[in-house]
Structure 1
Amino acid sequence: MTRRGPVVAGLMLSTALAAMDATIVATAVPAIVRDLGSFSLFPWVIAVYMLTQAVCTPIYGRLADVYGRKPMLLVGAGIFLAGSLFAGVAWSMPALIVARALQGVGAGAIQPITQTIAGDIYPLAQRGRISALISTVWGGAALLGPALGGLLSEFGLWRWIFLLNLPVGIAALTMVTVFLHESVERRPHRLDLLGTALLSVGVVVVMIGLQESLWWAVPVGLVSLVAFFRWEHRAAEPIVPPWIWRDRMLLGAFLGSAVVGAVLIAPSLYLPTYAQGLLGASAVAAGFALATQSIGWPLAAALADRLYLRYGFRDTALAGLALIVVSSVMFVLLTPDSPLVYAGACSFVNGFGLGLLSVSCVVGAQSVVGWERRGVVTGGVVFFRSAGSAVGTAVFAAVAGASMLSGGTVSSVDQVAAALDGPQARAARAALASAVHHVFLAMLAVAVLGVLAVLVMPRRREPLADAASADSDPAGSDPAGSDPADAGAGGGGPAGEGASAEGRPTG
């Protein structure tokens, strides 16, 4: 029998590791470069982790449906820990970059599969609260990461940034191994190797093009992605089954998750600098102004289950988007004369809206498919959030750069950050204020577009039975990759038709 408490504890520890490693390295730059050199290569220490994680997320989601959640989570976490050990003993910057790539390959399993397991072992009415716990851990770990990285670097212990993952990860793996039990039907499978290759090449090239402003690379990557989607219609067991795109609930959840990723990144990147450079806040105070976002998010996630059970997933998501629009307007109205408390209030409202929207997308997507497809749709939700963050980062950076350079007082974004305390401070602060104002206007535009995207969802849609009782395929069809769109993509077939008792948690 599956014991939920220890399993959730293991999932939370796993989530904390993946979240913290996305941010913990940033504050350790001086110490790492001092030991390993090659400062010009350091951005890849962060970027390669995010790239490999994004590429592997949908792949793990599909494999979790084929081989089970538990083995794929153990494989992913094991790869992550191997990468952590390699990073902890890295002897050069290229070696550290390879280690971080290995960490990202493992981390690609952690977030989607932990969310999928939570959907498996808890009924629909309780998934919002479990998502709130996981969201709290994710947000808290991401915020704690830079502080812990800076503290360890201060004492010359930057290698422990990675080595500390080992005992924590082993504890998480032990809990999942001992207390999670699932029964998976064993049968032959044909892995979609060509689809995996096309998806990997397309995602990597597009994300590098966006992150590095190599605009010629974007169409090259898009060609690979188009070839991937065409191939998936022919593959025997596709990584991303074509029926996903014809299901309105899933399409709305994916688009909503992309909005979550984009909206989340704008305050994270620009609010701390604004608070320190224009509001006169210390680094710690600026961090707390952003941290209120992580307070609002889990509070909203805990409330979301009551709302979507009563009003439906679309209306709950729209309520979240309404709050995101309100927070975006509040951010647009932020001025250098605003008190820091106002910036914190903006972040709180923003986080509350993101909490409602993100839970509606995750649980809504999970609720309309059976066990055999929950992994692939959860992986899709997580992937679109990562893609939204990548695209948002590139777009907002372009908006900020264009705004700063249009004033004619500075020649680069880096010059603004360097000049805030120098003789050109007034011009630099004016440029920063204008740039961040335009970024928040762009965030408002994304939020408004998000409302249109979520309207794709059906207003009311009955979910299938919960995983703990009688989850089934959305149309009672074969889970190996056949297309249920004709039978149930629009409204979700009744639970129990053609259901199999295999492949579900035994508890």
Structure 2
Amino acid sequence: MGEMVRNIPKQTKRPYVLAAVMLVMFIGAVEATIVATAMPAIIGDLGGFAHYSWVFSAYLLMNTITVLIYGKLSDLYGRKPILTVGVSIFLIGSFLCGLSASMEQLIVFRLIQGIGAGAVMPIATTIVGDIYTGEERANVQGYLSSVWGISAVMGPAVGGLLVEYVSWRWVFWVSIPLGVLSIIGIWLFLHETVEKKKPDIDYAGASLLTIAISSLMVILVEGGVRFSWTSPQVITLALIGVSTLLLFISQEKRASEPMVPLEIWKLRPILIANLVSFTTGLMLIGISSFLPAYVQGVMEKSATIAGFTLTAMSIGWPLASTAAGKLIIKIGYRTTSLIGGIFLVIGGGLFVSIVPSAGPMGAAFSSFCVGVGMGLTSTSFIVLIQGSVNWKQRGITTATNMFMRNLGNTVGAALLGGILNGQILRYFAEHGGKAGQNLTLDSTNMLLTAEHRSQLSASVKMLLQEGLSHSLHTVYIAVLVFGIISLLLVLLLPKRSNTTA
């Protein structure tokens, strides 16, 4: 408690800071659901279904890399100025995304947006860890998780309405005034004392990690689609990825202020929590990125209805997180996480068994179960991690957990996007006959709007829908596998819990 008094002066107004933090987290949370909801409309306008996963991968790549840099900088310079820089870059990227005239431009602007997004979740979460005690954090995490519920309801609803009645461009612009308001709140009400010291940023580590992840992502997205798995391009990228990853590990061992402190990975609870965050990140992106395409393309529902199937997941998330705050204190983080792991497997299994006749309600219930699993596990892990380190390490340790989830998102968007594209092309080749020879990945664009679907012959529409449905089924099998792995990892958590650290 003495540590709290030294680092967070008494004049900090905690309720107002919490409100500003929740607002900035809302911006980051709503981005996922609102953009996923709008993607079919964006593809219908700009074209380029083959680049579908790159819209998510570009954002997630920069988010994944910069989250660690921001975490380290916030430990050196304080949370307030670094969060301000990140949110500002995010808002600039959002403005530019709304101006995109082509899919290529959108991908570039999503890179800029992702650079700023790396600051949002980890620093906002770290601020809460700074201003609340260990006992308080479990309950406050429930409040933070309510942000996901609010964004889940508003994101798809607002996104769907904007797409249908205004323009998909506004899904990027709507967050700008909220971002400005959150920055004002942080500067007015958060007062922190930071020990001044010479910065020592691990730029070499950041560069090596960027190259390694970028190489892996290109392989996963384009392997088996644009490049064969044994092509010189894939082999070269694999060699670059492996070598830079090994160099990164070596660099982290030598660096005085490493991007990823290796000593925290020696703590078994933190190791397990980070690994599960990675596997659940894979699950999350597999559902949020591709479920709208299934609901609109195969079930032939509107963007608004597709958005609400994602809403169910993010309603389950905050409800479970609120319950987790109390469960952690009563039964410990291990048992709470175990219940969450079971829900992840149930949700994954429901997605594998989903059929078009199940309708949006079937998709929504599957999403809800995954959301419950995410809420129980993520809340348990944040409380566990923040209670394990002091102020000077809390920023980078929280960021490391966020990094692992973002890495899961990044790898998942690329891997599952690659699986989807490869399966669609294979299905057209094997089942399409002469019609299939003329179909490409971009032919799937025609399914995503009612206007374009009406232009298709019955046989071609059926072929496209069956191909998309078959391919997404394969994606959801992968989602289930990651859910099972998550549950097995949770079983490895130590039985003794410590919720008051």
TM-score calculated relative to the size of structure 1: 0.80
Q: Deviations over 1:291-320 (max 9, x none)?
A: 211111110000112222222222221210
8 Å contact kept, 1:84–1:163: yes
Distance in 2 (alpha carbons) for counterparts of 1:292 and 1:149: 15
Partner of 1:290: 310
Query: 1-side partners of 2:463 and 2:76: how far apart?
Result: 58
Report the counterpart of residue 422 of structure 1 in structure 2: 457
Give 2:196's aligned residue: 186
Alignment partner of 1:450 is 2:486: yes
- Other-structure match for 1:235: 255
User: How far apart, CA to CA, are the structure 1 residues paired with 2:364 and 2:101?
Assistant: 41
Q: Are 2:264 and 1:244 equivalent residues in the alignment?
A: yes
Q: 1:46 to 1:323 in 2, by over 3 A?
A: closer
Q: List aligned pairs for 1:297-446, cutoff 5 A.
A: 297-404=317-424, 405-406=426-427, 408-410=430-432, 411=436, 412-415=440-443, 418=446, 422-424=457-459, 425-446=461-482
> 1:177 aligns to what?
187
Comparing 58-67 with 125-134, which one deviates more in the overlay? Answer: 125-134
- How do residues 1-400 of structure 1 correspond to structure 2 at under 5 angstroms? 1-22=11-32, 24=34, 27=38, 47-84=57-94, 99-138=109-148, 140-141=150-151, 144-145=154-155, 148=158, 161-213=171-223, 215-216=234-235, 217-279=237-299, 281-400=301-420
Q: Distance in 1 between matches of 2:178 and 2:94?
A: 12
Unaligned runs of 5+ in 2: 1-10, 228-233, 448-452
Q: Identify which range, 212-221 or 370-379, moves more after superposition.
A: 212-221
Query: Comparing 92-101 with 48-57, which one deviates more in the overlay?
Result: 92-101
Q: CA deviation at 1:190?
A: 2.1
Aligned to 1:494: none
What is the CA-CA distance between 1:29 and the residue it aligns to?
8.4
Q: What whole-Å deviation, never above 9, does each CA across 1:23-61 have from its counterpart, x for those lacking one?
A: 655638878998x99999897665433322221011111
Is the Cα–Cα contact under 8 Å of residues 317 and 454 in structure 1 kept in the other structure? yes
Pair 252,160 (structure 1): closer, same or farther in 2 beyond 3 Å: same
Distance 2:51 2:296 in 1: 28
Q: In structure 1, list runs of 5 or more residues that go unmatched.
A: 466-507
Structure 1 residue 326: Cα displacement: 1.6
Separation in 2 of the partners of 1:335 and 1:270? 15
Q: Deviations over 1:121-178 (max 9, x none)?
A: 2233443443333334345436645654565566776665555544322211111111
Residue 462, structure 1, aligned to residue 498, structure 2: yes
Q: Is the 8 A contact 2:71 2:399 kept in 1?
A: yes
| CA distance in 1: counterparts of 2:352 and 2:75, whole angstroms | 43
Letter in 2 for 1:50: L
CA distance in 2, matches of 1:91, 1:414: 18
1:179 CA displacement: 0.9
Cα 1:209–1:283, aligned 2, differ >3 Å: closer, same or farther?
A: same
Q: Secondary structure at the match of 2:119?
A: helix
1:105-132 deviations in Å (ceiling 9; x for gaps): 2211111111111222223344344333
Decide whether aligned partners of structure 1 residues 123 and 212 sit closer, same or farther in structure 2, where only a CA change above 3 A counts.
farther
The structural deviation recorded for 1:262 is 1.3
Question: For the residues of structure 1 that align with 2:29 and 2:248, how far apart are their CA atoms?
Answer: 29
Query: In the alignment, residue 381 of structure 2 is paired with which amino acid?
Result: C
Distance (Å, rounded) in 2 between the aligned partners of 1:246 and 1:93: 43
Deviations 1:260-298 (A, max 9, x none): 211112332343343445556444333323321111111
Give the whole-Å Cα distance in 2 for the aligned partners of 1:18 and 1:275: 24
In the alignment, which residue of structure 2 is the partner of 1:481? none
What is the number of equivalent residue pairs in this alignment? 464
Contact 2:202 2:255 in 1 (8 A): yes
**Structure 1 residues 203 and 297: CA distance shift in structure 2, 3 A:** same
The residue type paired with residue 69 of structure 2 is I
* Offset of residue 15 of structure 1: 1.8
How well do the aligned residues superpose, as a CA RMSD in angstroms?
A: 3.4
* Worse-superposed segment, 388-397 or 49-58: 388-397
> d(CA) in 2 for partners of 1:39 and 1:334?
23
1:19 and 1:138 in contact (8 A); partners too: yes
Question: SS where residue 358 of structure 2 aligns?
Answer: coil
Q: Provide closer, same or farther for how the CA distance between residues 129 and 422 of structure 1 changes in structure 2, counting only shifts above 3 A.
A: farther
Q: Which protein, 1 or 2, shows the higher relative CO under an 8 Å CA cutoff with sep ≥ 6? A: 2
What is the alpha-carbon distance in structure 2 between the residues aligned to residue 117 and residue 447 of structure 1? 30
Q: For structure 1, which segment, 403-412 or 53-62, has the greater mean C-alpha deviation from structure 2 after superposition?
A: 403-412
Structure 2 distance, partners of 1:331, 1:93, is 29
| Structure 1 stretch displaced more, 73-82 or 88-97 | 88-97
The CA deviation at 1:181 is 1.6
Contact preservation (8 Å) 1:327, 1:346: yes
Q: Deviations over 1:180-219 (max 9, x none)?
A: 1222212223222222222222223323333343644244
| Residues 351, 96 of structure 1: alpha-carbon distance in 2 compared, 3 angstrom cutoff | closer
What's the secondary structure of 2:287's corresponding residue? Answer: helix
Shift of 1:394: 3.1
Q: What amino acid is the match of 2:17?
A: V
Spell out, residue by residue over 1:306-350, the C-alpha distance to the aligned partner (whole angstroms, 9 max, x if none).
Answer: 222222222221210111112222222323433543332222112
1:102 and 1:277, CA in 2 relative to 1: closer, same or farther beyond 3 A? closer
Q: State the 1:357 CA deviation.
A: 1.3
Q: Partners in 1 of 2:19 and 2:88 — Cα distance?
A: 18
| SS of alignment partner, residue 444 of structure 1 | helix
Q: Is the CA contact 1:128–1:301 (under 8 Å) kept in the aligned structure 2? A: no
Is contact 2:156-2:310 (8 Å) kept? Answer: no
